[in-house]
Amino acid sequence: METQKLILVTGATGYVGGRLVPKLLEAGYRVRCLVRDPSRLEGRAWLKRVEVISGDALSPEGLAEAMQDVSVAYYLIHGQQGRKVDAERDLQVARNFAQAAEDANIERIIYFGELVDPTANLSPYLRARHETGYILRYGKVPVTEFRAGMIVGSGSALFEMIRYLVEREPLLICPAWFFSQAQPIAIRDVLSYLVDALKTPDSNGRVIEIGGPSRLTYADMLLSYAKERDLKRWLIPTPFNAPRLSAYWVHMVTPIHWRVVAPLIEGLRARLIVRDDTAKKLFPQIKPIDFQTAAHLALGRIQRDNVETSWADALVTSTGDIKPYEFTVEEGMFIERRQILLNLKPESVFRAYSGIGGERGWLYMDWSWAIRGWMDKAIGGVGLRRGRRHPDEIHTGESLDFWRVENVEKNRLMLLRAEMKVPGKAWLQFESAPQETQENKTLLTVTAYFAPHGISGFLYWYAMWPFHKFIFDGLARQLASRARVLSHSY
């Protein structure tokens, strides 16, 4: 069968590759992933359904093994990852890949590249991406090259720039590149093109530009996002491009490193629009959605309180990998995570955290929880002392002080959603994960999530953050102590 072909996906740890793999599996293809560090795939729901080969595309030997028995290979290798652009390295990888594909006699390479303005002076980043496609096409294996500009989807670099800038900056000073036209495309449409190419023979040997139905400036996208979030934002245009200064500015007000955004901002200075209709002719079944719809869908998970779908961290399985404290910002949410490895079974750890609140209290600095509850009550909130139905048993949907129990998995997890008045949405999650490589050891993880709304949400978070150090550190320690006590009752 056609769908039983073996497909090689490179860049499976990246933004597009990580979403392409499950789509290929859904379509019935067999998938092999070439990655430098297989541990970065841990936690992916599809991991057991694919073949994983550890290797570097700079190594011809590793590529030869990866290409064996492959029908089609996706080239999603992205050399620029928060470092200086190393064009020669990227081009050498492309040469190695083209040669390995030729030696393995595979049918086709599908490359996902960048939209470029042929009349513009290309930045080093865009030039390298453009030349990568040329080198792949220069080989003997046919190549389908898709070119896209801005990808709209939760987690994509440019869309995250929009998210953070709009959320944090009521007044935006706009360099000239804010007003260059682009044709953003939703990640779901990108994936449709990439997958449908496998069953579209006429796409073989073609360069195909893809984009959404509308041409927008970056300023248009900022205002569209603000409309989606019901936020008022004002833009002040300036005649200067200032790409390096803009990159530093983005670096300061978002979690995205300036080295990541600098090449992208350089690219935005040109008109990144689709200039031919090849995609429409070859893929008439794909109807790209507009930016507003794509932004709405990208924000849907947070708006529906369905936070779990965005948690993709690998499960820690050895003491050496455990980080006692970790703070990250992912998909617009602030995340604080604390971990303790315990010489206990998951049952004892679960009993410890599933029994907190109510008359038993919150185990550490209980007075601070009482003050927070009193403050919430004073402004019309639910307050702390709603208590709990049973001192030890807990079920999904119940109230627990000023939380709502959103999910319970016995001996594994308890997720609480805050019902106090806050400028955003907040969750507190407790996990007890058995360590497969270490008998009778359980990793206790306490994670606080906060999705801010507007500038007041960010101010609230940073005002509360210093107190979290004491409160949540102490809570994690006391939970560990209680779990040890409870273990003796078994």
Q: What is the pLDDT of residue 7?
A: 94
pLDDT given at position 384? 64
- Distance, CA of 420 to CA of 309 (rounded, Å): 23
Instruction: Specify the CATH number of the domain 1-141.
Output: 3.40.50.720
**CA-CA-CA-CA torsion sign (173, 267, 252, 223):** positive
Architecture of domain 149-182+212-303: Alpha-Beta Complex (3.90)
pLDDT at 437: 59
**Which single residue is written with the structure tokens 């449409």?**
189
The reported pLDDT for the residue numbered 309 is: 25
Q: 53-83 burial, b for 16+ CB within 10 Å, e for fewer?
A: bebebeeeebbeebbeebbbbbbbbbbbeee
- On whether the CB atoms of residues 347 and 409 are closer than 8 A, the answer is no
Domain residues of the chain, as ranges? Answer: 1-141, 149-182+212-303, 307-487
Q: Kindly report the pTM of this predicted structure.
A: 0.65
For position 81, what pLDDT does the model report?
46
> Does domain 307-487 bear CATH number 1.10.357.10?
no
Q: Are the beta carbons of 455 and 463 closer than 8 angstroms?
A: no
What is residue 166's predicted lDDT score, i.e. its pLDDT?
86
Model pLDDT, residue 78? 72
Which pLDDT value is given to residue 352? 93
Instruction: Tell me the CA distances in angstroms from 399 to 271, 297, 357, 455, one per residue in order.
Output: 53, 29, 10, 29
Residues of the chain with pLDDT under 50: 1, 81-84, 301-321
